[in-house]
Amino acid sequence: MSDETNLPGTLPEHLREAYEVLASGAAQILPADGLAERLRAADREGRPLRVKLGIDPSGSDLTLGHAVVLRKLRQFQDFGHTAVLVVGGFTGQVGDPSGRTATRVAQSAEQVVANATGYFDQLMQILDREHAEVVNNADWLGTMDLAELLGYTRQVTVAQLLERDDFSRRFAANQPITLSEFFYPLLQGIDSVAIHADIELGGTDQTFNNLVGRELQRSRGQAPQAVLTVPLLVGTDGVEKMGKSLGNFIGIREPAGEQFGKLMSVPDSVVGRYARLCTALHPREVDELEHQVAAGGSGANQAKRRMARAVVALYHGAAAARVAEEQFDAVFKRHEVPTDVPTFALPDGDPIHLPALMVSAAVAASTSAARRDIDAGAVRIDGEPLSARQYDHPRSALAGRVLANGKRRAVRLREP
């Protein structure tokens, strides 16, 4: 994206850097010249862009997958633009049907508010509070009269709604689609009118909803927003979308050492993607990093480390990232016993059946998995691998020692 010929139209010199960074990693920019046009307009009018992101607080801990769109929003803030977070106080009660194969259970207004507790603290680990507005769409949607709402409905046809993949699949399968779900893209579009959005961000599953906002803004005499979508982030397995149910996630509030270890476990094939979507590295730095990975060898390992440090530094600071890397090397390169691990009380009895203990201490998913790990030499006591079929141990041989299974799961055993 750094080549001038890749820029839509001719941008002034002082806007080219912003365009390069903001367009990097985008799945799609609609229309193709939309971002460049909005940057020109804001520069001409001497004002910041109003960059919209709709959020329906779930109350759950954010992962790097959730953070991709937030990182893009932060990039806009770093160039002096305003992040407008639209809390779904009203639309959260409807339920976004995007990507759904069945009707989503609606939340009450009280649930939406309750879910927001702690959620914004996580958002502000990524965003700049000084350049952020937080608004609640219940303020305008909750008070809108029927005549005004019906006026908006004339801008969207049923045929357009049925073009959406999720609606078309459900319609073809004779699965119910409620009228309130049909209204969701319309309500999201009204949000863009209400806040005078210049840009709307979202995942690729939000493209249809975001484009509705353009049509509604045009019908109300506003300049239509540009739409910038970001791709879904694959998890640490390098295959499936990052998600807690698959266990392939990295939480933004996880300890620095845990984050670093998980990032070092991702396949080389996704290192560049993580660097582009999850760090503050410049696009040209990411290009260089991708070349290192492609070359293989020690350069690929150094590129992965650079990506891991950059991610950890965002959430814990550069010093913590350096410490996390040192701890990683101590355990996995020099095979030293980790010191900063949680403790776990030994159960009653002597000897102690290790597979059951491992399950209780959450370092194995099941006793059968624990036995397989022991037999494979993945389980260590104070750094020493256990022999195959060595399942029962004297209590005295475990107390005060570190039990580790694989690279990242370890506890220090103690007496109750």
Q: Which two tokens stand for residue 107?
A: 């939340």
Whole-model pTM: value is 0.75
Residues 6+ apart with CB under 8 A from 301: none
As a three-state string, the secondary structure of the chain is CCCHHHCCCCCCHHHHHHHHHHHCCCCEEECCCHHHHHHHHHHHHCCCCEEEEEECCCCCCCEHHHHHHHHHHHHHHHCCCEEEEEECCCHHHCCCCCCCCCCCCCCCHHHHHHHCCCHHHHHCCCCCHHHEEEEECHHHHCCCCHHHHHHHHCCCCHHHHHCCHHHHHHHHCCCCCCHHHHHHHHHHHHHHHHHCCCEEEEEHHHHHHHHHHHHHHHHCCCCCCEEEEECCCECCCCCCECCHHHCCCCECCCCHHHHHHHHHCCCHHHHHHHHHHHCCCCHHHHHHHHHHHHHCHHHHHHHHHHHHHHHHHHHHCHHHHHHHHHHHHHHHCCCCCCCCCCEEECCCCCCEEHHHHHHHCCCCCCHHHHHHHHHCCCEEECCEECCCCCCEECHHHCCCCEEEECCCEEEEEECC
Tell me what pLDDT residue 88 has.
Answer: 84
- Please give the annotated binding residues, written as ranges: 244
N- to C-terminal Cα separation, the chain: 59
- Please give the annotated binding residues for ATP, written as ranges: 244
Cβ count within 10 A of residue 292: 20
Tell me what pLDDT residue 116 has.
Answer: 61
Alpha-carbon distance of 247 to 242, in angstroms, equals 8
Q: What is the pLDDT tens value at each position of the chain, 416 positions in all?
A: 334 445 655 788 889 999 999 999 999 999 999 999 999 999 999 999 999 999 876 656 889 999 999 999 999 999 999 999 998 888 876 655 554 444 445 555 555 555 666 678 888 889 999 999 999 999 999 999 999 999 999 988 888 888 777 788 888 888 888 888 888 899 999 999 999 999 999 988 888 888 999 999 999 999 999 999 999 999 999 999 998 878 889 999 999 988 998 999 899 999 999 999 999 999 999 999 999 999 998 999 999 999 999 999 999 999 999 999 988 888 766 566 666 678 899 999 999 999 999 999 998 889 998 999 999 888 988 878 888 998 999 998 898 888 988 767 888 898 88
Domains, the chain, ordered by start: 4-230 (3.40.50.620), 244-332 (1.10.240.10), 343-414 (3.10.290.10)
Tell me what pLDDT residue 328 has.
Answer: 84
Tell me what pLDDT residue 58 has.
Answer: 60
Alpha-carbon distance of 189 to 86, in angstroms, equals 12
Q: Which two tokens stand for residue 270?
A: 């996704």
